[in-house]
């Protein structure tokens, strides 16, 4: 996947569509996070030994990898692919804020229902499918905050603040249910080999702490970014030139960025 991404961005049509280093870095760190979650020894611990390792795995996918992968998608290169595949209508539907929020939190909550969890963890196919579905749902949930496509744009900064606060409150429900329970209701970990001193209850509480800290950190960073961007926009209105430069950094050609920003620049 990393090789394919680097080949894709290297074939940008001309120097004016060159993808910025920051965009590439987000994609590469996001892909590394996916590997850490599902390809490293963490995956083996999550499969049979530690519930806290499983929670870390899911939180890395949903709250670290998903937004980074979206930030790493160059809009200028993604837009033609989406249009050719006629995916724009599907993307707009799947990333509607209310629908995306309900879908992600419902999927995240159902995954940890004991019967569902044990069924998923029993086979490799179910385990990989659940990880992929959770990551995709998380990307849809993060899309209104870090959309790479002008045709399916992110929310305005004030609306982003409300959207992020609502999602933050929603994850608190799962956090409380995990943190304040006792024991582990999952047959998957009935014969687990845990480190000395880590009881099932402590394992569960550690999982709750991981969910709380990392999800709060992700939402906190996103809320701070939206707030300061809003304050900066209020102080200095986004001019066509600023929009034009931002689109260039996202991988659009000079002609595309000029048309979207209203500068009507000719293609080089």
Task: Determine the Cα–Cα distance for residues 98 and 78; give it in Å rounded to an integer.
Answer: 24
| pLDDT level of residue 47 (50, 70, 90 thresholds) | confident
Residue 162, token pair as written in the block: 């409300």
Q: Is residue 50 exposed (0-12), middle (13-18) or buried (19+ Cβ within 10 Å)? A: buried
Q: How far, CA to CA in Å, does 28 sit from each of 25, 145, 196?
A: 5, 20, 36
Residue (of 247, 255, 257, 227) closest to 20 by Cα position: 247
- Greater confidence (236 vs 181) lies with 181
Q: Quote the percentage of the chain above a pLDDT of 70.
A: 93
Task: Determine the Cα–Cα distance for residues 68 and 210; give it in Å rounded to an integer.
Answer: 19
**What's the whole-model pTM score?**
0.81
Go through 232-251 and write b for each residue having 16 or more CB atoms within 10 A of its CB, e for each that does not. eeeeeeeeeeebbeebbbbb
Q: Which of 134-138, 223-227, 259-263 has the highest mean pLDDT?
A: 134-138
């Amino acid at each position: 996947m990393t090789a394919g991404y680097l080949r894709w961005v290297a074939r940008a049509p001309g120097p004016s569509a060159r993808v910025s280093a920051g965009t590439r870095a987000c994609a590469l760190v996001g892909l590394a996070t996916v590997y850490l979650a599902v390809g490293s020894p963490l995956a083996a611990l999550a499969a049979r030994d530690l519930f806290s390792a499983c929670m870390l795995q899911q939180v890395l996918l949903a709250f670290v990898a998903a937004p980074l992968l979206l930030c790493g998608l160059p809009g200028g290169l993604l837009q033609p692919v989406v249009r050719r595949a006629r995916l724009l209508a599907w993307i707009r539907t799947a990333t509607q804020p209310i629908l995306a929020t309900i879908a992600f939190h419902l999927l995240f909550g159902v995954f940890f229902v004991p019967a569902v969890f044990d069924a998923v963890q029993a086979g490799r196919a179910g385990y990989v499918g659940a990880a992929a579905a959770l990551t995709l749902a998380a990307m849809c949930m993060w899309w209104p905050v870090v959309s790479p496509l002008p045709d399916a744009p992110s929310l305005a900064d004030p609306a982003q603040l409300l959207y992020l606060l609502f999602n933050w409150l929603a994850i608190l429900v799962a956090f409380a249910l995990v943190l304040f329970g006792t024991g582990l209701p999952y047959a998957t970990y009935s014969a687990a080999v845990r480190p000395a001193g880590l009881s099932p209850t402590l394992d569960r509480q550690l999982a709750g702490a991981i969910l709380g800290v990392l999800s709060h950190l992700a939402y906190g960073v996103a809320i701070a970014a939206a707030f300061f961007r809003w304050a900066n926009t209020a102080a200095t209105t986004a001019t066509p030139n600023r929009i034009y430069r931002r689109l260039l950094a996202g991988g659009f050609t000079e002609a595309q960025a000029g048309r979207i920003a209203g500068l009507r620049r000719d293609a080089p």
